[in-house]
Structure 1
Amino acid sequence: MNTENPGCLTGVARAVALVVVLPVRLVWDALAWCLRQLWRWILAPVCRGLAWLLHHLVVIPLQWLWEWVLAPIGRALAWLLHHLLVVPLRWLWEGILVPVAKALWWVVDLLVVTPLRWLWRYVLGPVCRFVGAILAWAWRIAGEISRAVGRAVRWVLWNAIGRPLAWVYRAILTPVGHWLRTWVWGPVAAAGRAVRAAARDVRAALFGGPR
């Protein structure tokens, strides 16, 4: 094969591609033509027939039912509901309930709210403020008295108990303790150390010293 001529290779490749693709294209075109014929002569007429049947057997009866039955019944029910329920309730609210509520509120305001407001403004409020001021003053004075009593009790306790005890500690207990430590505890401790040393010497002499 002459590989130096690109035109020859191109022609061979095109021929091979045509041999491979041609059957596929023929089958594709045949299938597409069959589908177009199927849609044109069978599916499209069937769909138009079904649409016509749906329109005349479902849509038109439902439209007629809504326009001549359901809508008039709905308007009649709305009219009855408005005139038998809404209008009486509105009249009851505007003509009876609202005036009665206003009258009751006027009575409650006149007999309860206004007296209570007057009582709080001119009696209870001033009394509560006066009592609060008195209690605050009494609490402050009681605190000052309590602090003074505490200082007095501390002074009495210090002079009656604390000062004598401090003097006894400084003048008697401290010298006695020093004397006992020097003349009693010191000799006793020295004697104890001497006894322990003699006991160790006796034990060593009798049983031998530790190895």
Structure 2
Amino acid sequence: MDLEKPDAERPPPPVPQPPRRQPEAAGEGCLVVAVRLPVRIVVFLVVLPVRLVWGACAVAARWLGRAVFRPLGRALLWTGCAVFVWPLAGLWRYVLVPLGRALAWLGNLMVLVPAGWLYRYVLVPLGHALVWLYARVLTPFGHGVMWVLRGIAAVCAAIGLGVFAALARLTRYLAVVSCAWLYRWVLAPVGHAVAWCVKGLVRLVGMLVTGIGVGLYWITRILFVLPLLGMWRWVLTPVGRVLAVVARKIWNALGHAWRVTGYVSLAVGRFLGAFLRWTVVEPARWVCTRVLTPVGHVVRDMVLRPAAAAGRAVGRAVRQSLASARATLRQARADLRRMLVGERRPAPVGNRREPIGGDARTLGGSTTALTKD
């Protein structure tokens, strides 16, 4: 059983409608409508030269960055590396590192090894001896001294407690009881009287200060607060609202003019680019492709290649002449040596490591007179 409805009977999902944009003039006063158009015109005329100059400066800056500053930066980087980085790296690698290793070896040999020997063979035995002295001599002696001091302290404490009890009784009857009687029957009544007088005086001063404060409050409110409040409410607030509307419209006009001048500057740039292309680049390209390239090909085929072939032929002839002259000179020198010295012996053919004079002695033959075959 089909529990779902077919697609034809299913209602289509609701399509969300984009919120309608209220017109800019809706809900605005006549002052806003009257200020908007002149402000936009004036701002457009003011911003257009600035935007054109901005676009020209941006193009010039990109060209300078691509053609001047980037090669200059690379040259400065290479110069900095050659002047500072590479010498410092060589100094670090070939001077400071070997020097540091040598100093570390010397420090290890002259400081660490003697210090380790001193610690191991002097300080450790001395420490063990001090520990034994403390545990076996000073600790029992200290315990005995503490036992004696505890006995002396117990005797002194017993004597001190008796003296303290006597002094406490004397102090109680001579000072505490007298001071309590004086406080209860003399100082307390006098203090209550003084406190009652001070409370009345404080209450009187508070009433005077409250009256003066209320009077000053109403005087300040009538003379300063109410006029300032009226000026804020009936003068500054309307003027501020008008100035806010004007400033907002000027800001919107600046944004609108900046966007429009951007399109204008883009159109001017494209026009100048097209003008330069069709007046300079395309004629130069046409002259290069249609005039200079064929002329160059003709010059290459008619002049340069024949000249190069003739040069190569002359070079080959000169090399052949020099080779024949060297061969003739070598033959004449050989004939002259043969006439003066004679023929040179031919070099023996064979292994030059073996002796040339006679046959070597073997097991089956001998070179002596008695055993010669």
Tell whether the structures are fold-level matches, with TM greater than 0.5: yes
Where 2:253 maps in the other structure, the secondary structure is helix
Aligned match of 1:54: 175
| 1:161 aligned residue (280, 295, 306) | 280
Aligned match of 2:51: none
Task: Tell me by how many angstroms 1:180 deviates.
Answer: 6.6
Task: Tell me by how many angstroms 1:54 deviates.
Answer: 2.7
How many residue pairs are counted as aligned between the two chains? Answer: 163
1:29-178 matched pairs, under 5 angstroms: 35=158, 43-62=164-183, 66-84=187-205, 86-96=206-216, 98-103=217-222, 104-121=224-241, 123-175=242-294
**CA pair 153-53 structure 1, distance change in 2 beyond 3 A:** same
Task: Tell me by how many angstroms 1:83 deviates.
Answer: 1.3
**CA pair 108-42 structure 1, distance change in 2 beyond 3 A:** closer
Higher helix share: 1
Q: RMSD between aligned alpha carbons? A: 4.1
| Counterparts of 1:184 and 1:52, CA distance in 2 | 141
| Counterparts of 1:54 and 1:180, CA distance in 2 | 137
Task: Tell me by how many angstroms 1:90 deviates.
Answer: 1.1
**Corresponding letter in the other structure for 2:188:** E
| Counterparts of 2:225 and 2:282, CA distance in 1 | 77
| Counterparts of 2:247 and 2:232, CA distance in 1 | 21
| Counterparts of 2:185 and 2:304, CA distance in 1 | 133
| Counterparts of 1:179 and 1:61, CA distance in 2 | 139
Task: Tell me by how many angstroms 1:63 deviates.
Answer: 5.1
**CA pair 149-48 structure 1, distance change in 2 beyond 3 A:** same
**Corresponding letter in the other structure for 1:76:** C
Percent sequence identity is: 21
102-111 or 155-164: bigger deviation? 102-111
**CA pair 160-50 structure 1, distance change in 2 beyond 3 A:** same
Per-residue displacement from partner, 1:156-182 (whole Å, max 9, x unpaired)? 010011111222333344455566777
Per-residue displacement from partner, 1:118-156 (whole Å, max 9, x unpaired)? 2233x3343334433433333332222111111111110
**Corresponding letter in the other structure for 1:160:** T
42-51 or 136-145: bigger deviation? 42-51
Consecutive unaligned residues in structure 2, runs of 5 or more:
1-150, 327-373
Q: Which has the higher contact order (CA 8 A, sep 6+)?
A: 2
Consecutive unaligned residues in structure 1, runs of 5 or more:
1-27, 206-211
**CA pair 156-58 structure 1, distance change in 2 beyond 3 A:** same
| Counterparts of 1:125 and 1:43, CA distance in 2 | 88
Task: Tell me by how many angstroms 1:184 deviates.
Answer: 4.4
**Corresponding letter in the other structure for 2:234:** T
1:163-202 matched pairs, under 5 angstroms: 163-175=282-294, 183-184=303-304, 187=308
Per-residue displacement from partner, 1:99-128 (whole Å, max 9, x unpaired)? 12332222112134421112233x334333
Task: Tell me by how many angstroms 1:50 deviates.
Answer: 1.7
TM-score normalized by the length of structure 1: 0.56
TM-score normalized by the length of structure 2: 0.35
